[in-house]
Structure 1
Amino acid sequence: MLKITHNTISEYLSNRTFSSIEKIQKENNNKKYLLLLSFLLLLFIVVQFLPWTQNIQAKGEIVSRFPDQGPQTVQTIIGGRIEKWYVKEGDQIKKGDTLVFLSEVKSEYFDPNLIQRTQEQLNAKDLSIGAYENKVSAIENQARALEQALIIKKNQTQNKLVQAKNKIEIENAELQNINKNNQIAQNQYQRIRSLYQKGLKTLSELQEKELKYQETLAKVSIQQNKLNNAQNEYYNLELELSAIERDYSEKIAKANSDKQSALSQSLEGRAESAKLRSSVSNYSQRQKMYYVTAPQDGYVSSLISTGIGQTLKEGEEIARIVPDKNNIVAQFKLSPQDIPLVSKEGKVRMRFDGWPSLVISGWPETSTGVFEGHVIAIDQFLTSDGYYRVLVQPNDKYKPWPIELRMGTGTQGFFLLKTVPVWYEIWRQLNGFPADYYREDSPETKKK
C-alpha cells in the first residue's frame, strides 16, 4: 500500500477489529524476534572465539623495596631527660635537623668541665710517658757504657795476665839457671871437701867453696819465692778477671732490669693514655648525642615520648619518621597452587584503592584506570601464613604509577598469563582446571 498521505485511520479503527490485520502484524513481530535471536546467537558464537587473557588475581599493598625508605623510629643512643622539643607532628624535616634536646641523668657525667679535666689528665700522662722514655734512653746509654767499660777492663786484665805469664816464664828460667849454678857450687864444695880431708886443700879454700855453695842455695830459695809470687799474681789476675766479668754482668743486668721496668711503666702509661683519649672522645661524642637529630629527609609522623622532663632509657623510641622519597613496589601474596604460573618479568595489571577504574580481567587492553608493572622477585619459601610473596615494580614503558601513592595503600593485581579463546576459558573454569602453565618455548612443551 502506497503512503500518499500522512493521515491515518488508526485513531478511528482498532487493529483487533479486523483479524487479518492482526495476523499480519504478528507475523512481522515474529520475524523481528527471530532476527534478534539469530543476531544474539551469532554474537555469542563470535565472542566464544575472541582472545581471553588468563590471569591470577591477588590482593596486595604498596611497600618500599629498600629498608631505609620505610617508616622508621628514632631512638635515643644515650639515656637522658627531655628538656626541649624542636619539632611537632607533621613537620617536614631535613637530615641533621634537631628533634629534641636531652640533659644528662648519670652522675658520672654531671661535671660541666669533664672533657677539660680529662684532657688535663691525658696531658699529664703524656708527660709521664715522655719521662719514662727519657729514663729508658738514659739506662740504655748507661748499659752501653758499662759494656764498653767491661771490654776495657777485660782487655787490661788480660794484658796483665799475659805479662804475669811472661814473668812466670822468666822467673822459671832464672830458677833453672840458679839451680844449675847451685849444682855446680855443690859439686865444687864436695870435691874441695874431699881434697881437704886428704890434706890437699886448705881450710880457707874449703870455707870459700862452702860459702859460695850457701850463697847459691839462698839464691835458689829466693828465686823459688819469686816464681811462686809470679804464679800467685797470675792466679789473682785470673780471679780478678772473673770478678770483673761478674761485677759488670750484675751492673749490666741491673741496668737492663731498670730499662725493662721503665719500658713497662711507659707501656702502662701508653695504655692509660689510650684509655683517657678514648674517654675524651666518648665524652665529646656523648655531648653531641644530647641533641637527637633526624637520620634522613622526611616528615614527623608521630612523637612517641612527648613529656618535658620525661626520663628516657638508652635505645628508647621518641619519634617516628616517614622518608620523603621512596622506591615503592607492590607486594602480593599468592597461594602455592598459583606460584608456578608466575615468573620474573611477567606482566601485572593493578588497580589501587582510591583510584576509580573499570577492570575487565580477560581483556586488559580495554580496562581503564589500571596501571602496569612487572614481577621482580618471588619468594622461595612460604611465609608464616602459608603464602608466597611476590614483588611487582612499575613498568616504565607504561603510564607511571600515581605519585600520591603511599606505603600501605591497598591494591588488586591481575597477573597476566596465556591468551586463549573465551570458550576454552569457560570450559576450563567450569571443570576447575588450572590455567595453562607450559609455554610453547618451554622444555616441557617440547618433550610433550
Structure 2
Amino acid sequence: MLNISNNKVSEFFDLSQYKSGQATAHTNQHRLFRRVLLISSLLVVIILFLPWTQNVTSKGLVTTLKPNQRPQTLQSSIPGKIDAWYVQEGDLVKKGDTILKISEIKSDYFDDRLTERTGDQIKAKSASVDAYRSKVTALGNQYKSLQQEQELKLEQAKNKYMQSKLKVESDSIDLEAAKIKASIAKTQYERTLSLQEQGLKAVKDVEDYRNKLQEANAKLISQENKLLASKNEVINAQLNISTIKATYGDKLSKAQSDLFSAESSALDTEAQVSKLENNLANYEKRNSLLFITAPQDGYINKAIKSGIGETFKEGEPLVSLMPANYDLAVEMWVRPIDLPLLHKGEHVQVEFEGWPAIVFSGWPNVSYGTYGAQIVAIENFSTKNGLYRVLINRDPDYGPWPDALRVGSGAKTIALLEDVPIWFEIWRQINSFPPNFYVPENEEDGKKSEKK
C-alpha cells in the first residue's frame, strides 16, 4: 500500500477502480504543497514585520506605597510581663485603643506610689532651695554690713591718727618753747649768780632765778614726755588701723566664704531638684508605657507573646498590626542589566495571583486580566540576591486594582519599553542582547538644556 518495496502493487492491480485508490491518487499534490508553503512564508514575513513591544518581566509582591502603611509589630520600650489582653486576633482597633496591659519586673519600680513619693521629695528639696536662698540673702546683707562697719572704723581710726599726728606737732612746738624758756632761765640764773659774786645782786635774787631755772627744766622734761606720749599715740593709731583691716578682713572673708557655701548648697539642691523632676517625668512616662496602644487604625494579625504572666525584654515584638488604611503598590525586582531601562513614571502591566490573565507580553493591548501601574521609586542599591527593587503603584489612567487584593500577594510585572519589529526581537533574543536603551522625553529635554 505504501509502495516501499520493489514489488509495487500498482503493477499488478489497477488501483483507480477502487475508491481508496481514487481518493489517494492526486496529480496536483506538489502544486498544493508549494502553495501552502508560499502562503506560510508570506505570513511569516508579514508577522516578522509586525510591531513588538520590548519589555522587562519580573516577579514581585503586593505591598503598600507608604512605609507607615505596611504591617508592623508593636514592641514595649521597657521589660515587663503581660497582665491582660484586651483584643484578639482579627479585631479592628482604632488609634489609641489599648491592646494589652503589662506590669513591671524590675524591683526599682515595684512601688505603686513611686511618683507620689518622688513628688514629695521634690517639694522638700524645693523648700530647702528657698531656705538656702534666704540664707544667701542674709549672708549678703551681713557681708555688706561688715563692709560698712569696716569703712566707719577705718575712718574713725584714721581721724584719730591725724589727731595724734597734730598733737605730736603741737607738743613738738611746746617742747621747743620749753627749751627756749629753759635756756633763758639758765642764762638769767648764770647772769644773776655772776652779779651776786660781784656784790651787785642779793642772794635772794639768785635763789629766785635758780627756782625759775628748775621750773623751766621741769617743764622741759614734762614737755618731752608729752611729745613721746603723742608719738606713741601716733604709733597706736597706725596699729589700730592695721588691726581693724586685719580683723574685718577675717570677718569679711568668713562671711564671704559662708555666702559662697550657701550659694553652692543652693545650686547643689537645685540640681537635686532638677534630677528628681527628671526622674518624676521618667516615672510618669514609664507608667504610661504599661499600656500598649494602637499607633494607628488597623487589624490585629498575630499575638507574638500570648500568655498571661509571660515576661519579655525591651524591644521584643509583642503583637503584629496591619494598618486599616493603605495604598497598594507592588515591589518588583529587576536585573542590573535591565535597571538603566526603567525610569520613574513609566507604565507597567501587572498580573496578580488569583486573578487569571491571558498575557501577550509583546502586545499589551490584547492582554486580558492585567492592570496598569507606573514606577514611583527605583532602589539605588542592590539586594542580597543581586537584584534591584522597583516600587510601582496604580496608574490613574487605567482601571482600579481588585478590591480584594491583599498585602503580601504575589504579582508578575511587565515593564513596557520600545516598539520594535518582531524580527528584531527574535534576533535580539537569539544573540542575548539587552532591550534598546532609551531615555524619556522629559529627561532628553533636560540633557539638551544642559548641553546648551
> Normalising by the residue count of structure 2, what TM-score does the alignment of the two structures yield?
0.86
Counterpart residue number, 1:304: 304
Checking the alignment, whether the CA contact within 8 Å between 2:349 and 2:372 is kept in structure 1 is yes
Q: Distance in 2 between matches of 1:431 and 1:275?
A: 74
Superposed counterparts of 1:276-291, under 5 Å: 276-291=276-291
Q: CA deviation at 1:243?
A: 1.0
Superposed counterparts of 1:8-157, under 5 Å: 39-157=39-157
Q: Distance in 1 between matches of 2:55 and 2:169?
A: 123
In the alignment, structure 1 residue 235 sits paired with structure 2 residue 231: no
Checking the alignment, whether the CA contact within 8 Å between 2:65 and 2:393 is kept in structure 1 is no
Counterpart residue number, 1:358: 358
The CA RMSD over aligned residues, in Å, is 2.8
Q: Deviation per CA, 1:21-59, whole angstroms, max 9, x where unpaired?
A: x79x96899988776665544433332222111111111
Q: Distance in 1 between matches of 2:227 and 2:167?
A: 8
Counterpart residue number, 2:344: 344
Q: CA deviation at 1:250?
A: 1.2
Q: Distance in 2 between matches of 1:433 and 1:306?
A: 55
Q: Distance in 1 between matches of 2:189 and 2:173?
A: 24
Q: Distance in 2 between matches of 1:439 and 1:69?
A: 32
In the alignment, structure 1 residue 398 sits paired with structure 2 residue 398: yes
Worse overlay, 68-77 or 372-381: 372-381
Q: Distance in 1 between matches of 2:355 and 2:332?
A: 18
Q: Deviation per CA, 1:225-269, whole angstroms, max 9, x where unpaired?
A: 111111111111111111111111111111111111112221222
Q: Per the alignment, do residues 51 and 337 of structure 1 end up closer, same or farther by CA in structure 2, a change over 3 Å counting? A: same
Q: Per the alignment, do residues 121 and 104 of structure 1 end up closer, same or farther by CA in structure 2, a change over 3 Å counting? A: same
Counterpart residue number, 1:369: 369
Q: Distance in 1 between matches of 2:75 and 2:274?
A: 30
Q: Distance in 2 between matches of 1:104 and 1:54?
A: 62
Q: Distance in 2 between matches of 1:86 and 1:439?
A: 55
Q: Distance in 2 between matches of 1:76 and 1:440?
A: 48
Q: Deviation per CA, 1:357-389, whole angstroms, max 9, x where unpaired?
A: 121111112212212223233333332222222
Counterpart residue number, 1:318: 318
SS of equivalent to 2:413: strand
Q: CA deviation at 1:70?
A: 1.7
Counterpart residue number, 2:9: none
Counterpart residue number, 1:196: 196
Q: Distance in 1 between matches of 2:378 and 2:291?
A: 42
Checking the alignment, whether the CA contact within 8 Å between 2:95 and 2:294 is kept in structure 1 is yes
Counterpart residue number, 1:12: none
SS of equivalent to 1:228: helix
Q: Per the alignment, do residues 431 and 122 of structure 1 end up closer, same or farther by CA in structure 2, a change over 3 Å counting? A: closer
Checking the alignment, whether the CA contact within 8 Å between 2:51 and 2:419 is kept in structure 1 is yes
Superposed counterparts of 1:236-275, under 5 Å: 236-275=236-275
Checking the alignment, whether the CA contact within 8 Å between 2:341 and 2:437 is kept in structure 1 is yes
Counterpart residue number, 1:187: 187
Q: Deviation per CA, 1:260-300, whole angstroms, max 9, x where unpaired?
A: 11122212221222222223222222222222111221110
Q: Distance in 2 between matches of 1:35 and 1:61?
A: 51
Q: Distance in 1 between matches of 2:396 and 2:95?
A: 30
SS of equivalent to 2:137: helix
Checking the alignment, whether the CA contact within 8 Å between 2:55 and 2:415 is kept in structure 1 is yes
Q: CA deviation at 1:409?
A: 1.7
Checking the alignment, whether the CA contact within 8 Å between 2:336 and 2:387 is kept in structure 1 is yes
Counterpart residue number, 1:435: 435
Counterpart residue number, 1:8: none
Q: Distance in 2 between matches of 1:243 and 1:165?
A: 19
Point out where structure 2 has 5 or more consecutive residues left out of the alignment. 1-15
Q: Distance in 2 between matches of 1:310 and 1:380?
A: 43
Q: CA deviation at 1:392?
A: 2.1
Q: Distance in 2 between matches of 1:215 and 1:289?
A: 109
Q: CA deviation at 1:143?
A: 0.8
Q: Distance in 1 between matches of 2:116 and 2:43?
A: 93
Counterpart residue number, 1:411: 411
SS of equivalent to 2:95: coil
Worse overlay, 246-255 or 372-381: 372-381
Q: Deviation per CA, 1:194-221, whole angstroms, max 9, x where unpaired?
A: 3333333322222222211111111111
Q: Distance in 1 between matches of 2:342 and 2:288?
A: 51
Identity %: 40
Point out where structure 1 has 5 or more consecutive residues left out of the alignment. 1-15
Q: Distance in 2 between matches of 1:175 and 1:116?
A: 87
Q: Distance in 1 between matches of 2:403 and 2:231?
A: 113
Counterpart residue number, 1:9: none
Q: CA deviation at 1:326?
A: 2.6
SS of equivalent to 2:230: helix
Q: CA deviation at 1:129?
A: 1.4
Q: Per the alignment, do residues 379 and 105 of structure 1 end up closer, same or farther by CA in structure 2, a change over 3 Å counting? A: closer
Q: CA deviation at 1:150?
A: 0.9
Counterpart residue number, 1:3: none
> Normalising by the residue count of structure 1, what TM-score does the alignment of the two structures yield?
0.87
Q: CA deviation at 1:306?
A: 1.2
Q: Distance in 2 between matches of 1:440 and 1:379?
A: 19
Query: For residue 121 of structure 1, what is the amino acid of its counterpart?
Result: Q
Q: Per the alignment, do residues 440 and 255 of structure 1 end up closer, same or farther by CA in structure 2, a change over 3 Å counting? A: closer
SS of equivalent to 1:99: strand
Q: Per the alignment, do residues 50 and 66 of structure 1 end up closer, same or farther by CA in structure 2, a change over 3 Å counting? A: same
Q: Distance in 1 between matches of 2:249 and 2:291?
A: 63
Q: Distance in 2 between matches of 1:223 and 1:181?
A: 12
SS of equivalent to 1:320: strand
Counterpart residue number, 1:420: 420
Q: Distance in 2 between matches of 1:186 and 1:403?
A: 145
Q: Per the alignment, do residues 403 and 18 of structure 1 end up closer, same or farther by CA in structure 2, a change over 3 Å counting? A: closer
